[in-house]
Amino acid sequence: MEKKQVTALGGVNYRKLLVDNNSAVILLILLVVGVFGIDKFIKTFPSVVVQASLYGLLAVGLGLVMITGNIDLSVGYQAGLAAVVTVMVLNATGSLAIAVVAALAAGALCGVLNGFVVTQIGVSPLIATIATNYIFKGLTYAKTSTGSYSPTDNSLKDTLKALYDFKVVDGSKFMTLTVLIVAVIFILLLFVLRKTRYGNSVYITGDNVEAGEYAGIHTKRVAMITYILCGILCALAGVFMASRSGGAQYTQGDGMDVLAVSICVIGGIKMTGGKGTMVHVLMGLFIMRIITNILNLVRVEATYMDLTSGILLIAVLIIDRFTSRKKA
């Protein structure tokens, strides 16, 4: 007893340190297992980073929404729809730049719709975004019902593909343009959440809407802006998706919503809002991508991939629960 008292008062409280950083601990375990136990883990790591950047955009957007205490289950098809818009506008104008701007604008519009239904009509975010997801999915299918929807002109297709493949540093495997853009966005949001009034409002909205309202913060506006940001980030992911495969694909957005939620929750963003940072999203992102990569490397059959991922996820969540249980 006496010893414990000293710990809590003056020294380092290791238990608290562990509880506060349990996703970091999980990530560390996975890295150690990968580096020392799995063949080719280090060699394939750059491709993990490149792929992570794409999912990371969705997760970062969703993460913001989750910190405000809401949720967005339409992230996958906001991206899917943006991919379609990219190809459409590219076909119509021949300009990649205009196509990208149009796609981002479409994403922003998706965010406006989500934000409107949630904050103005007052529908529960879960239901609202399940519903809007159908709309975005339907619009995506309208153009991709044949399986895929690519630029009509082959040179345009090459232009589109070049975006995803563009290396910022020659010869480096993972310093692609997408990784760089995502890294910049990530650092920017880290700053925004920590240092700006908007960032602080995001946390207040998530932790206690009423306290925010009484302090003169327009919490509905904060939620709206966050949905719009999420839409834009998803749209950017959609542009990259289109660029990666040279066109929009039929089922591209499927399962991405659940994946993004998993990333956020595993990283430590609370479903109840008000808690979590971009660093948590980043950790969740790498936990998820590394698990997938390890399963690929040990050649789990594609048929059993989902099953194995599910079991591993539960295992991770058990570790999370176990390390954070004492907190209450």
Partner 1 sequence: MGERKTFITLDGIIKLFPGVKALDGVSFDIQEGEVHSLCGENGAGKSTLIKVMTGAHRRDSGHYLIDGNEVDFHNTQEAIALGVSCVYQELSIAPQLDVAKNLFIGNLPMNGPLVDHKTLYAKAKEILAELDMPVSPKTIAGELSVGQQQMIEIGRALTRNARLIIMDEPTSSLSEKEADTLFSIIRKLQAKNIAIVYISHKLDEVLELSDRITVIRDGKNIISMDKADCTKETLIAHMIGRSLENLYQKEPAEIGKQVLEVKNLTRKGVFQDVSFTLKAGEIVGFFGLVGAGRSEIMRAIFGVDKYQSGEVVVDGKKLRGGSPAQSIAAGIGFCTEDRKQEGLALRLSILLNMTLVKLPLLSTLGVINKQKQREAADEYMKSISIKAPSVTQLVGNLSGGNQQKVVVAKWLMINPKVLIVDEPTRGIDVGSKSEIYGLLSNLAKSGMAIIVVSSEIEEIMGICDDVVTICEGRLTGRVKITESLSRETVLAAALGVTGGMADTDNGGEVG
Query: Distance between CA atoms of 275 and 281, rounded to whole angstroms?
Result: 12
Quick check: 188 binds partner 1 (CB under 8 A)?
A: no
Query: Distance between CA atoms of 251 and 241, rounded to whole angstroms?
Result: 12
Q: Minimal distance in Å, beta carbon 189 to partner 1?
A: 14
Quick check: 325 binds partner 1 (CB under 8 A)?
A: no
Token code pair at residue 5: 């008292």
Quick check: 195 binds partner 1 (CB under 8 A)?
A: yes
Identity of the residue, 198 or 250, whose beta carbon is nearer to partner 1 in the bound complex: 198
Q: Minimal distance in Å, beta carbon 203 to partner 1?
A: 6
Identity of the residue, 15 or 40, whose beta carbon is nearer to partner 1 in the bound complex: 15
CB 305 within 8 Å of CB 49: no
Residues in region 213-242 near partner 1 by CB under 8 A: 213-218
Quick check: 17 binds partner 1 (CB under 8 A)?
A: no
Q: Which of 9, 20, 12, 83 lies closest to 323 in space, CA to CA?
A: 20
Q: Minimal distance in Å, beta carbon 193 to partner 1?
A: 11
Quick check: 187 binds partner 1 (CB under 8 A)?
A: no
Token code pair at residue 116: 């409107």
Identity of the residue, 7 or 251, whose beta carbon is nearer to partner 1 in the bound complex: 7
Q: Minimal distance in Å, beta carbon 202 to partner 1?
A: 11
Quick check: 208 binds partner 1 (CB under 8 A)?
A: yes
Other C-beta atoms closer than 10 Å to the C-beta of 75 total: 34
Query: Distance between CA atoms of 94 and 159, rounded to whole angstroms?
Result: 10
Token code pair at residue 109: 């519009």
CB 201 within 8 Å of CB 67: no
Count of residues that interact with partner 1, criterion CB under 8 A:
26
Identity of the residue, 5 or 155, whose beta carbon is nearer to partner 1 in the bound complex: 5
Q: Minimal distance in Å, beta carbon 284 to partner 1?
A: 20
DSSP state of 248: E
User: For the CA atoms of the chain, what is the radius of gyration?
Assistant: 21
Quick check: 7 binds partner 1 (CB under 8 A)?
A: yes
Quick check: 120 binds partner 1 (CB under 8 A)?
A: no
Q: Minimal distance in Å, beta carbon 327 to partner 1?
A: 12
Q: Which stretch binds partner 1 (CB under 8 A): 64-72, 121-129, 176-184, 198-206?
A: 198-206
Q: Which stretch binds partner 1 (CB under 8 A): 56-64, 97-105, 176-184, 199-207?
A: 199-207
Identity of the residue, 196 or 251, whose beta carbon is nearer to partner 1 in the bound complex: 196
Residues in region 243-282 near partner 1 by CB under 8 A: 274-275
Query: Distance between CA atoms of 162 and 49, rounded to whole angstroms?
Result: 18
Hey, what long-range contacts does 317-326 have (CB within 8 A, 24 or more apart)?
317/266, 319/22, 319/25, 319/26, 320/22, 320/23, 320/26, 320/266, 323/18, 323/19, 323/22, 323/25, 324/19, 324/22, 326/15, 326/19
Query: Distance between CA atoms of 33 and 29, rounded to whole angstroms?
Result: 6
Identity of the residue, 321 or 327, whose beta carbon is nearer to partner 1 in the bound complex: 327
DSSP state of 167: B
Q: Which residues bind partner 1 (CB under 8 A)?
A: 1, 4-5, 7-9, 195-198, 200, 203-204, 207-208, 210-218, 274-275
